[in-house]
Amino acid sequence: MILYKKHILIAIVSIFIASFFTLSLSAAEEVEVHHWWTSGGEAAALQVLKKDLENKGITWKDSGVAGGGGAQAMTALKARISAGTPPTAVQMLGFDINDWAELGYLADLNNIAKEDNWDSVIPKALQRFSKYNGVWVAAPVNVHSVNWVWGNREILSKVGVKKSDLKTWDNFIKAAKKVQAAGYIAFAHGGQDWQDATVFDSIIYATGGRDFYIKTMIEQDTNAIKSATMRRAFDRFREFGNLLDDNFSGREWSQTTALVINGEAAFQIMGDWAKGEFVKAGKKPNSDFVCFRVPGTQEAVLFNSDQFAMIEVGDNRRDAQEAMAKAVMDPSFQSTFNVVKGSVPARVDVPNTAFDFCGKKGMLQLATANNNNTMLGSMAHGHAGKPAIKNAYFDVVTTFLNDASMSSREASSNLANAIFAAQE
């Protein structure tokens, strides 16, 4: 009888121990990732990360919130944090990372950053956002840039647009008019604030050059924002607006890219995440589509970088979180991931071998721009100004595009006032 009781006791204790380990292991081996990568190309890239983590024994809990540019995902994040149920890692851009770090929600990754030497392999322009007061709080997974044009090669050759027609903004507009006259959509565009602003970033650079972009977007100097050069930039934005189709309003960016892929539109001005859609559709650079810098911005890389900001979580979730941060920074992962995503690696030591023509070009341009100080943060994607400034910019730029009666003078003065009001 005593022996029998002993057996039961042993059995209960072992069940208890086993379930304790299973519970703590499953908590330690899962990451919940909050992101907005829901288009075809984005989801394919995310799959690369998910697979990589699964191979390391880490389970993926998906928390995707659709909406290009991430505004909806950021709103959803606020709700998660205030409910006290934070995800493990969050896709975040630029100044948003700083804000969350300032509020004390982000984890300290200094140990692994030191172990893996992040200081010397991650470009300084990204470190400015990955670190807060000397503490690593995020792991950058890519470098995207917004001043790209994606073109349908067949339409361009049918209409007779040559590479030499695409060197200056004015000639670019002439080429776009030729496309429109031939019955195609000249510019595929999705009328959403962040997409409007993505185009306007490039127009500002193309119109005023490097110093003007720095003065207006990075330093947010209101006199420069009110200047004749900014008025000229708005004039150009109007020209762009006159070359859109009737259904542009509210269109998702990936549906917009599809118009170029399917041969309905000649061009899309969009960040290189658009390339992920071409790749997903099995299209090849130079034979099916062309990629070139927005005319007038050839020397510049107006960048944004997706980083995984790590949320301060309990000890039971920390191992998996650190394993994810390490995995994200792995050089061979950065190569595989960015080939699919359309971006370039967030490390300086990744070979370009696996990248296609546009990727190789992007990597070379990034290195050159970095040396020439023409690698500048995109305002539309949170790398030039704080979120309040970015939102002020969105408002004015979108209102202008949708209101043909607004003059460039009015728009530039509204922009100066809105940015001034948003400054701290």
Could you tell me the smallest distance in angstroms from the CB atom of residue 11 to ligand GAL? 52
Give the strands of the sheet with 185-187, arranged side by side.
185-187, 265-269, 148-152, 289-293
CA 155 to chain centre: 28
Could you tell me the smallest distance in angstroms from the CB atom of residue 90 to ligand GAL? 13
Nearer to ligand GAL, 73 or 155 (CB): 73
Nearer to ligand GAL, 227 or 365 (CB): 365
| Tokens linked to 188 | 């595929």
Q: Which residues contact 320 (CB under 8 A, 6 or more apart)?
A: 28, 29, 30, 31, 58, 88
Could you tell me the smallest distance in angstroms from the CB atom of residue 354 to ligand GAL? 19
| Tokens linked to 87 | 């995800």
Could you tell me the smallest distance in angstroms from the CB atom of residue 141 to ligand GAL? 9
Nearer to ligand GAL, 176 or 301 (CB): 301
> Counting beta carbons within 10 angstroms of the beta carbon of residue 21, is it exposed (0 to 12), middle (13 to 18) or buried (19 or more)?
exposed
Nearer to ligand GAL, 37 or 118 (CB): 37
Could you tell me the smallest distance in angstroms from the CB atom of residue 48 to ligand GAL? 13
Nearer to ligand GAL, 230 or 302 (CB): 302
User: How far apart (Å, rounded) are the C-alpha atoms in residues 416 and 185?
Assistant: 33
Could you tell me the smallest distance in angstroms from the CB atom of residue 346 to ligand GAL? 12
Q: What angle do CA 315, 62, 103 make, to 5 degrees?
A: 50
DSSP state of 424: -
Could you tell me the smallest distance in angstroms from the CB atom of residue 201 to ligand GAL? 12
Nearer to ligand GAL, 208 or 276 (CB): 276
> Counting beta carbons within 10 angstroms of the beta carbon of residue 114, is it exposed (0 to 12), middle (13 to 18) or buried (19 or more)?
exposed
| Tokens linked to 67 | 């909406």
Chain residue whose CB lies nearest ligand GAL: 68
H helices present in 56-89, as ranges: 71-82
Q: Which residues make up the interface to ligand GAL (CB under 6 A)?
A: 36-37, 42, 68-70, 93, 144, 253, 273, 304, 306, 381
Nearer to ligand GAL, 198 or 321 (CB): 198
| Tokens linked to 112 | 């692994």
User: How far apart (Å, rounded) are the C-alpha atoms in residues 90 and 77?
Assistant: 8
DSSP state of 106: B
Could you tell me the smallest distance in angstroms from the CB atom of residue 148 to ligand GAL? 12
Place of tokens 């392999």: 121
- From residue 13, alpha-carbon distances to 2, 4, 16, 20, 23 in Å are 17, 14, 5, 10, 15
For the chain, how long is the longest CA-to-CA vector? Answer: 97
Nearer to ligand GAL, 153 or 341 (CB): 341
